[in-house]
Structure 1
Amino acid sequence: MDPRALPPRVVIDPGLPRDVWARLWSGPHLLRMARTGAEPKASGGRVLLLLVPWIAVLFYLIGSLSAAAIVAGAVGVIALLRHANVAATQRDLRQRLRLARQYAAHYVLPEDLDYPCQRLLRRAQDAVDAILSSAVQRAGFIDTIDNQVTLPEEVWQIAQRLARLSAMHAEHRRLVPRVLPSGLEDAFRPYTTALDAAWTSLSRRVRHLEEYARQVTRADHVYHAHQRLETLAARTPDYQRLIADTVRDDLAHRHIRELGEQARQVRRLFEESVLQARRTAGELLRTPLT
Structure 2
Amino acid sequence: MDPRRRPPHPLIDPALPDSISSVLRADPQALRAARLGQVPEARRPDLVKSFAIAGLLLLMAVLSSTGGILAALILIFIAVLRGLSDDPRSLRERRRVRLAVEHGDRFILPEDLDADCGDLLRRAQDATKTVLDSRINQAGLLDTIDNMVTLPAQTWQIATRLVRLSKLRAEHHRLVPDAPPPEVAEAFTPYVGALKAAESSLTRRIRALEEYARQVRRADGLYLAHRQLQVLAERTPQYEALVAETAEDAPAVPDLERLTEQAQQIRKLFHRSIDEARDAARHLLTAADP
Aligned to 1:53: 51
* Shift in Å, 1:262: 1.4
Instruction: Give the secondary structure class of the aligned counterpart of 1:183.
Output: helix
Greater CA drift, 215-224 or 147-156: 215-224
1:92-107 to 2 correspondences below 5 Å: 93-107=93-107
Asked whether the equivalents of residues 11 and 109 of structure 1 are also in contact (C-alpha less than 8 Å), the reply is: yes
| 1:170 and 2:154 aligned | no
Instruction: Give the secondary structure class of the aligned counterpart of 1:105.
Output: coil
Change (3 A) 1:89 1:4: same
**Following the alignment from structure 2 to structure 1, what is the Cα–Cα distance between the partners of residues 145 and 226?**
24
Change (3 A) 1:145 1:287: closer
Asked whether the equivalents of residues 33 and 97 of structure 1 are also in contact (C-alpha less than 8 Å), the reply is: yes
1:51 is matched by which residue type in structure 2?
Answer: K
Unaligned runs of 5+ in 2: none
Aligned to 1:77: 78
* Shift in Å, 1:208: 1.5
| 1:21 and 2:25 aligned | no
Asked whether the equivalents of residues 12 and 108 of structure 1 are also in contact (C-alpha less than 8 Å), the reply is: yes
Q: Which runs of 4+ in 1 moved over 6 A?
A: 59-64, 67-72, 244-248, 250-253
| 1:131 and 2:114 aligned | no
* Shift in Å, 1:172: 0.7
Change (3 A) 1:7 1:74: farther
RMSD of the TM alignment (CA)?
3.4
The counterpart of 2:63, out of the listed 62, 65, 69, is: 65
2:52 is matched by which residue type in structure 1?
Answer: W
Instruction: Give the secondary structure class of the aligned counterpart of 2:152.
Output: helix
**Following the alignment from structure 1 to structure 2, what is the Cα–Cα distance between the partners of residues 55 and 82?**
10
Asked whether the equivalents of residues 243 and 256 of structure 1 are also in contact (C-alpha less than 8 Å), the reply is: no
Aligned to 1:189: 189
Aligned to 2:160: 160
Change (3 A) 1:159 1:175: same
**Following the alignment from structure 1 to structure 2, what is the Cα–Cα distance between the partners of residues 121 and 162?**
8
The number of residue pairs the alignment matches comes to 286
TM-score, structure 2 normalization: 0.83
Cα distance per residue 1:72-112 (max 9 Å; x no partner): 8647525634754626852x555544443333222222121
**Following the alignment from structure 2 to structure 1, what is the Cα–Cα distance between the partners of residues 205 and 4?**
16
* Shift in Å, 1:281: 0.9
Instruction: Give the secondary structure class of the aligned counterpart of 1:101.
Output: helix
Aligned to 1:214: 214
Asked whether the equivalents of residues 244 and 252 of structure 1 are also in contact (C-alpha less than 8 Å), the reply is: no
Cα distance per residue 1:206-244 (max 9 Å; x no partner): 122112111111111111111111111112244456667
* Shift in Å, 1:283: 0.5
2:232 is matched by which residue type in structure 1?
Answer: L
Greater CA drift, 150-159 or 257-266: 257-266
Asked whether the equivalents of residues 42 and 90 of structure 2 are also in contact (C-alpha less than 8 Å), the reply is: no
Unaligned runs of 5+ in 1: none
Question: What percentage of aligned pairs have identical amino acids?
Answer: 45
Aligned to 1:86: 87
Change (3 A) 1:54 1:140: same
Aligned to 1:111: 111
* Shift in Å, 1:202: 1.0
Cα distance per residue 1:121-173 (max 9 Å; x no partner): 11111111111111111111113870001000011011000000000111110
Greater CA drift, 222-231 or 135-144: 135-144
Aligned to 2:234: 234
* Shift in Å, 1:10: 1.8
Greater CA drift, 80-89 or 12-21: 80-89
**Following the alignment from structure 1 to structure 2, what is the Cα–Cα distance between the partners of residues 213 and 3?**
25
**Following the alignment from structure 1 to structure 2, what is the Cα–Cα distance between the partners of residues 29 and 199?**
29
Instruction: Give the secondary structure class of the aligned counterpart of 2:182.
Output: coil
